[in-house]
Chain A
Amino acid sequence: MRHVVGVGDMKLSANAGDIVVTHALGSCIGLAIHDQSAQVGGILHFMLPVSSVNPDKAKANPYMFADTGIPAFFKEAFKLGASKRIIKIKIAGGAQVFDDKDFFAVGKRNQVVTRKIFWKNNLMIEREHVGGSNSRTLYLEIGTGRAWMTIQGQEIQL
């Protein structure tokens, strides 16, 4: 089955036949995680770096923000049997508009905050395709852990 993850949402699966996909990654970041031995994986599509801009919204929509979404996403993955030692992490997105005053630096800040969170938790990002200004689509195959993305009609393995 094919699961489509919307903006500010996530999908985890333990079904080998599943493909998880998320479209329209502009300044948002798509985070794909996969545990090969537990055959568990999924994608989180968050939009903004920090929930402090809107704590009320963050309570109802934790997956909208990196700082609330990433921990909640991992917690759910662990519930499905994924283990922190084995999990592979790949990210795509974080495109940035041109703005010399860095006023609309959502794409860049999403990247920075994501790195910080993983660094603090002693986790490594295995592969990434971030930045630039183009829109991306991210795919993950649960059975194999293969992750890939499309950008401007081009397919790239992650």
Chain B
Amino acid sequence: MITLDDLVQEVQGLAPLPTAAAKLVQILAVDEAEVGTAVEIIRFDQALTASVLRYANSPIAGAYYPTNSIKDATIRIGLGKVLEIAISSHVREPMGNALPEYGLGEEELWTHSVASALAAEVMLRDHKMAIPQLSFAAALLHDIGKLVLTRHLDPAIQGSIRRLTTDCSMTYYRAELEVLGFSHADLGAQISERWNLGKDISRAIGTHHEVETTPGPVADVVRISNLAAKTVGSGLGFEGMNLEADAGACERLGLDRSGFERLSADVAVLLRDIQKSHS
């Protein structure tokens, strides 16, 4: 049987985050408004510069007039979005792979991750909720543990998980914990630590299926983002809707029932627009 320690070894072997992303995390952890330093970091990375400008000028960012200034672009989209873009370039390819052990086809994990990040974005921009900038990156990465764990879910393990979910009506996450002793959330937190994403993001990823207790607002945003992303039909796989929802997260963030449904509708429309623009 595999252990979390074995997999932590594997996580240590993952390529580190691009320099720009690692530095942006540090800035965001200290002071969210330090745009000047951020601009220097972005400028140093040509690919990131191009991506930030492209996004800032897209209709999805609500661009009213074009800009080719990195500073303007950064202010327009916010440092949290810049960080998400920087991390995206690093995880885009592996997250586009199929995860058959989770019942996820090609692009499904990626779409789910994008939908989750979009949910965080909509909360901040359209619902004017006071949510931390780090939430976007955390939402994008919340299921990254599946990427490493998937290869180790042999048919015996899958069978045990399925039995617990169908016969004992356990949630997929609880069944994973029961069978393995740890979950994709724990592994995701390990990856986040390996990438030095800081305690807010690591804890948010590590507890994204927990209810009742919360390590803080980033974690609350991630829980709701995951649910909104599921509601729009992304990343269902074998887990489906078989998860516990944390209503407390909504209450703490000041989102009511219809607010959650409005959020889901907004995410569905944005997601479709993004998919259209890419095809």
Contact = CB atoms under 8 A, between A and B. Distances in A.
Contacts of A106: 231, 261, 264
Interface in B233-279: 233-234, 236-238, 240-245, 247, 250, 257-258, 260-262, 264-266, 268-269, 272
Given A53-B261, A64-B268, A103-B250, A24 B234 contact: yes
A99 B245 contact: yes
Contacts of A152: 162, 166, 238
Interface string A3-28: 00011100000000000000111111
Interface in B218-240: 227, 230-234, 236-238, 240
Chain A binding surface, main DSSP class: loop
Contacts of B269: 8, 57, 60-61, 64
Interface in A48-91: 48-50, 52-54, 57, 60-61, 64-65
Contacts of A49: 261
Contacts of B261: 48-50, 53-54, 106
A99 B244 contact: yes
Contacts of A133: 240-243
Interface string A101-114: 10111110000000
Contacts of A95: 240-241
Interface in B72-107: 103
B171 interface: yes
Contacts of A32: none
B263 to A, nearest CB: 9
Nearest to B105: A23
Chain B binding surface, main DSSP class: helix
B265 A97 contact: no
A51 to B, nearest CB: 9
Contacts, number: 106
Given A53-B258, A103-B247, A26 B265 contact: no
Contacts of A8: 268-269, 272
A64 B268 CA distance: 9
Contacts of A104: 227, 231, 245, 247, 260
A120 to B, nearest CB: 21
Given A50-B261, A54-B262, A133-B243, 13 more contacts: A8-B272, A24-B233, A26-B230, A28-B231, A47-B233, A53-B258, A53-B265, A54-B261, A60-B269, A98-B245, A133-B242, A134-B240, A152-B166
25 contacts: A7-B232, A8-B269, A25-B233, A26-B231, A27-B241, A47-B264, A47-B268, A49-B261, A52-B258, A53-B265, A54-B261, A57-B269, A64-B268, A65-B265, A95-B241, A96-B241, A98-B244, A100-B247, A104-B231, A104-B247, A105-B257, A106-B261, A133-B241, A133-B243, A135-B240
Query: Which 7 pairs show the lowest CB-CB distances between chains A and B?
Result: A103-B247, A135-B236, A24-B233, A99-B245, A133-B242, A101-B247, A135-B240
